[in-house]
Amino acid sequence: MPHFPILGIDSVEVTVEQSQRLVVVSNRVPPASAVAPQGGSGSVSVGGLVSAVKPTMERYGGIWLGWSGRSTQRRGSNEPTITDLGRLQLATLDLSEDESSMYYTGYSNRTLWPLLHSFPGRVVIRHDTYRFYRRINRRFAEAVFSILKPGDQVWIHDFHLFHVGFELRQLGWTGSIGFFLHVPFPSADIFSILPWSKETLEALLHYDLVGVHTDRYLRNLLDTLDSELGGSLDDRGIYSFEGLSSKLGVYSIGIEPSVFQRKDTEDRRGLTEEISLNADPNHRLIIGVDRLDYTKGIPHRLRAFERMLEHHNHLRGKVTYVQISSPSRTRVPEYVQEKEHVERLVGQINGRFSEANWVPIRYLYRSYPQYDLARFYHDADVGMVTPLRDGMNLVAKEFVAAQGEENPGVLVLSQFSGSASSLLDAVIVNPYDVDGTAEATYRALRMPLAERRSRSKSLMEGVLKHDASAWSESFLHDLGVYSAQVSVV
Ligand code: GDG
């Protein structure tokens, strides 16, 4: 088992047992076939959390617990089913249809997701879904508790499981527990829409360490804690309220660049062949890759592409926009509507501009293996990553990693993604400003080679420095340090 590099600070001595295990808990775990030893980069694993946590688990080993994704007729057992994959064990729970529809579709996806992404108009408040959410958080905690051994480090992921740390403390777990939020933390005004805002914040303070992606989310969280609870922050970043203490910190998530890096000598026309453009080597390609989610701003992006074709006639027949939309949350009504909206728009724009030998938008509603995604990124002249709101957005970093040095493409990036706080050499856009995004995309298509190279080089440095390993190492390091500190506050 791994030994996390834990250093003492402020004269706090921290010793770690060699036998310490990492126990990660997230809503879902990937299928056993997609993780080590035989899985890896060829697999289709759609979703940022799994993309980012998978390399951590492959590296450190340990136990990864989550919902199997199965919905059964009857309530499942609290004993997780263990699949042994050598250094890594997957522990899964089944949920009944009621449980998955109330906890997952209901409270997680229709209340917390829009709230945390600052879409108050889409937030659905229902007391019954919240009760289920709390019950399922308790079930997750009981399942984790049943496999914990003294000295384990527990790392809970994301908004589906806000209360698992609190429940673990109720069950008597005194060891360290960290929590990482993969989505934005909104402003205090937005968060206070939640009738259970105070108990959710108090639940957070049962973790030793709470991590978010950016400084802005941390400021929002602190602001919200101040206005809702009124605790205090010390100069180590430890927030205290009525006997509870938590260290709050910024840990910007990254990717495994080597999975996406492509050599310049590799054929640059893979994507062209895939979509049978074959003809002109000067044909320009724009790519978008997203889970089909209303936060990703796909309709605004389609409108911006349309506007670019309106304003720059000469591009017609010379540029193709490839949108890969991976199916996501297909049982949630808002996602069904978004799919219909996107498909209608694609149809309208293609209907308006298509010619006998050119279709402006290639819309692919499906998932591709990661290897193919990397080829597509590499082949594209412009990567459009324009969410209306996004915790980080790993696609932006994957696009950068796949470019190579000779003839790199240009990243057009939304100012409302967490990635924009570090990928400063991208072409930054406001996705709500359709005209502005259209012009920025046009500029990206025409950007001179020297500028593309210098921007791409500096973006790549950031992606290499802040990769997935740096993220998990710094979080786990701090979890070791601060779990010792907060227990003596
Ligand atoms: C959440 C936060 C945060 C997409 N299509 C395919 C595919 N993907 C992969 C991408 C990427 C991942 O899914 C999507 O990650 P994002 O970060 O862009 O977005 P979310 O899923 O919303 O992730 C986000 C993230 O958690 C991590 O903290 O960055 O802000 O919302 O890795 O490559 N993968 C494959 N085929 C596809 O068709 N194999």
pLDDT at 343: 98
pLDDT at 348: 98
pLDDT at 79: 85
Entry field: residues in the chain: 489
By most ligand atoms within 8 Å of CB, the mutation choice from 324, 393, 397, 413 for ligand 1 is 393
Beta-strand pair 238-241/232-233: antiparallel
Q: Which atom of ligand 1 is least distant from the CA of 255? A: 32
Give, in order, the Cα–Cα distances in Å from 15 to each of 82, 151, 357, 462, 484: 29, 10, 67, 32, 10
Task: Give the CA angle between residues 36, 42, 47 to the nearest 5°.
Answer: 85
Contact between 204 and 224 (Cβ < 8 Å):
no
Ligand 1 neighbour 398 (Cβ under 6 A) = yes
The sign of the dihedral angle between the CA atoms of 251, 444, 298, 66 is: negative
Rounded to an integer, what distance in angstroms lies between the CA atom of residue 331 and that of residue 333? 6
Ligand 1 neighbour 367 (Cβ under 6 A) = yes
pLDDT at 17: 47
pLDDT at 459: 98
pLDDT at 1: 37
CA torsion angle 307 311 314 318 (round to 10) = -10
pLDDT at 211: 98
Low-confidence ranges of the chain (pLDDT < 50): 1-18, 39-41, 489
Ligand 1 neighbour 49 (Cβ under 6 A) = yes
- Closest protein CA for atom 26 of ligand 1: 48
216's tokens? 């802005």
- Closest protein CA for atom 38 of ligand 1: 367
- Closest protein CA for atom 4 of ligand 1: 46
pLDDT at 2: 41
pLDDT at 94: 93
The whole-model pTM stands at 0.93
pLDDT at 349: 98
Q: Which atom of ligand 1 is least distant from the CA of 419? A: 29
Ligand 1 neighbour 51 (Cβ under 6 A) = yes
360's tokens? 């402006």
Q: Which fold has domain 9-254+468-488?
A: Rossmann fold (3.40.50)
Beta-strand pair 382-385/319-326: unpaired
Amino acid letter for position 152 = D
Q: Which atom of ligand 1 is least distant from the CA of 253? A: 28
- Catalytic residue, chosen from 94, 390, 425, 478, is 390
| 3 is known as an active-site residue | no
By C-alpha distance, which of 217, 388, 386, 191 is closest to 304? 386
Ligand 1 neighbour 386 (Cβ under 6 A) = no
**Helices (DSSP H) in 268-332: which residue ranges?**
270-274, 298-311
Q: Could you tell me the residue ranges of all domains in the chain?
A: 9-254+468-488, 260-465
Amino acid letter for position 287 = I
Burial environment of residue 32 by CB neighbours within 10 A (0 to 12, 13 to 18, 19 or more): middle
pLDDT at 374: 93
| 390 is known as an active-site residue | yes
- Closest protein CA for atom 27 of ligand 1: 48
pLDDT at 11: 33
**Same fold for the domain at 9-254+468-488 and the one at 260-465?**
yes
Rounded to an integer, what distance in angstroms lies between the CA atom of residue 176 and that of residue 212? 18
**Measured between alpha carbons, how far apart are the two ends of the chain, in Å?**
30
**Structural class in CATH, domain 260-465:** alpha beta
